[in-house]
Structure 1
């Protein structure tokens, strides 16, 4: 009460405490809505672009070691699939289950933040699209060349270890050969066409990861399983298969390089870069061009 007996008012400095409670509750509701709202395409673009900028600045030695390790560990994809094929019952539905083994190498490499060539077909292209300068383009081509070469060296190490040592049983080796022949002995044109969706699917993983939150594992598992079950061709996992067949004398170097490696490489690059990256860029081009602020609303 005021000295004259009247009730206090906001002007007199006695604001209703319920107003503060309402303000706090409103702020909490706004935070909840903000956290529940999907990341905007512009914000996803910025996350991937900045990640690409960071990759372009990495030292050469870091790229080589990371990419070589990635190539070695991608051997787990073919090995996991071969082990499941060996132990699952000989039923048509087993095909769907055994291809989950193909996801193993991708899971280790992606969550281990190692350099995988097909990831770079979107991550490092976005900085070039945003900043089309000669130096940026040269940095991207340098990274592509180093990562691809080191990935392939790693896959050859994995193929040599699996084919020339008794680390896996003869039964698993037979399954490994069957899987590798199915992938590598396609006609070059078919290998190229089947490499297009594989490149797009890996690029899609990269694009979705910033907003994946707790679902990242299932995104990687599902999309890489789809590559395997769809009989799509992937240049790094496929290089393990190609290297294995080369080392046991099942194919010649000409068949491996001209019939498989180059067509699949071209298909993955086109699928991941020329198609997916340009589609992703098309979503945000006008916003980036006009400087629209980052936001969470898609």
Structure 2
């Protein structure tokens, strides 16, 4: 006869051999918040070199998403505006995020939420937050730039991606009004912050992969500017096309980063922390 036990607020169903076979309840919101605070504090207290290297790894790994997008755009008979191609591109875009998040590398847009929550809870300071953000962000940007250089040198020779594909992807992000870049970046940061919350609440690797795909493919399908993945996308265009200028790149990076940070910090960290803490009173 199966028995039901509770661990950390979650109900588990056990078989007669005491092997857990199902999780039937969700993790309570207070447990999610506590886990996020613990994770945020762990990252805040990490050594500088560890954060930089982890951020560098994330910047390198996330580049596989934009690279696969360029390959699909090269090989597909359709293009932007074709539903099948758009869905394929959005799915390819999510691949880099799967590599980074499941690989537990440091991604700036995750920490715009994770690291803010311990500050709101009074367990970390603003200078500590700024240190974490700065180290992870620099590592992400440098890693993305290194990946782009390698891809630009190696990929065209393999015959699976064309320079025109890199240009097309970059133009999707830089041919917009400045206010659009910030507001759309805010939505991308909001979604990434929500993903950090959902990943913590999720049970099992399959559920986490599904969540990563749903959220990041949404960002890709809407062509929202994600500062770290977009760093690679726009750099591809800068290196491979005369149409994309250094000003386009720096303008994109500044506004997308500001929007991502505000979206993750305000719409997820502040609001969700507030509703959980007030709900517990």
* Same-fold call, TM cutoff 0.5: yes
Structure 1 residue runs without a partner (length 5+)? 1-24, 291-298
The secondary structure found in structure 2 opposite 1:34 is strand
- Relative contact order: is structure 1 or structure 2 higher (C-alpha 8 Å, sep ≥ 6)? 1
How far apart, in 1, do the equivalents of 2:132 and 2:39 lie? 14
> CA contact under 8 A between 2:166 and 2:237: conserved in structure 1?
no
Render the CA deviation track for 1:170-218: whole Å, top value 9, x for unaligned: 7443222211111133222111111111111111111011221131110
RMSD: 2.1
Note if contact 1:88-1:98 (Cα within 8 Å) is conserved in structure 2. no
Aligned match of 1:278: 270
Instruction: Measure the CA separation in 2 of the matches of 1:67 and 1:225.
Output: 22
**Contact 2:62/2:100 (8 A) holds in 1:** yes
Contact 1:156 1:243 in 2 (8 A): yes
Choose from 191, 209, 212 the match for 2:199.
209
1:157 aligned partner:
146
Partner of residue 90, structure 2 = 99
Task: Give the CA deviation at 1:247.
Answer: 2.4
Are the equivalent residues in 1 in contact too, given 2:89–2:220 (CA < 8 A)? no
2:74 touches 2:160 (CA, 8 Å); kept in 1? no
- Partner of residue 106 from structure 2, selected from 115, 127, 147: 115
DSSP 3-state at the match of 1:213: coil
* TM-score (norm. length: structure 1): 0.81
> Measured at CA, do residues 168 and 124 of structure 1 come closer, stay the same or move farther in structure 2, by a change above 3 Å?
farther
Q: 1:41-120 alignment to 2 at 5 Å?
A: 41-90=29-78, 92-94=82-84, 95-120=86-111
Q: Which SS does the other structure have where 1:64 is aligned?
A: helix
Give, in whole Å, the separation in 2 of the partners of 1:138 and 1:73: 28
Q: Contact between 1:41 and 1:283, CA under 8 Å: does it hold in 2? A: no
Q: Deviations over 1:30-72 (max 9, x none)?
A: 5598231211111100011100000011101011111011111
Structure 1 residues 171-186: aligned runs within 5 Å: 171-186=161-176
Is the 2:171–2:244 contact (alpha carbons within 8 Å) kept by the matching residues of 1?
A: no
Tell me, in whole angstroms, the C-alpha distance in 1 between the residues paired with 2:268 and 2:158: 38
2:40–2:115 CA contact under 8 A, matched in 1? yes
Offset, 1:97: 2.2
Distance 1:234 1:179 in 2: 13
Say whether the 8 Å CA contact 1:42–1:287 is kept in structure 2: no
Aligned residue among 24, 28, 47 for 2:3: 28
Note the C-alpha offset of 1:271: 0.7
Identify unmatched segments of 5+ residues in structure 2. Answer: 13-23
SS of corresponding position for 1:131: coil
SS across alignment from 2:11? helix
Shift of 1:76: 0.7
Which one of the candidate residues 232, 237, 250 is aligned to 1:257?
250
1:232 aligned onto 2:224: yes
Specify which of 134, 137, 140 is matched with residue 145 of structure 1: 134
Contact 2:186 / 2:264 at 8 angstroms: preserved in 1?
Answer: yes
Q: Distance in 2 between matches of 1:270 and 1:223?
A: 18
Report if aligned partners of 1:162, 1:168 keep a CA contact under 8 Å in 2: no
Larger Rg: 1
Pairs aligned (count): 261
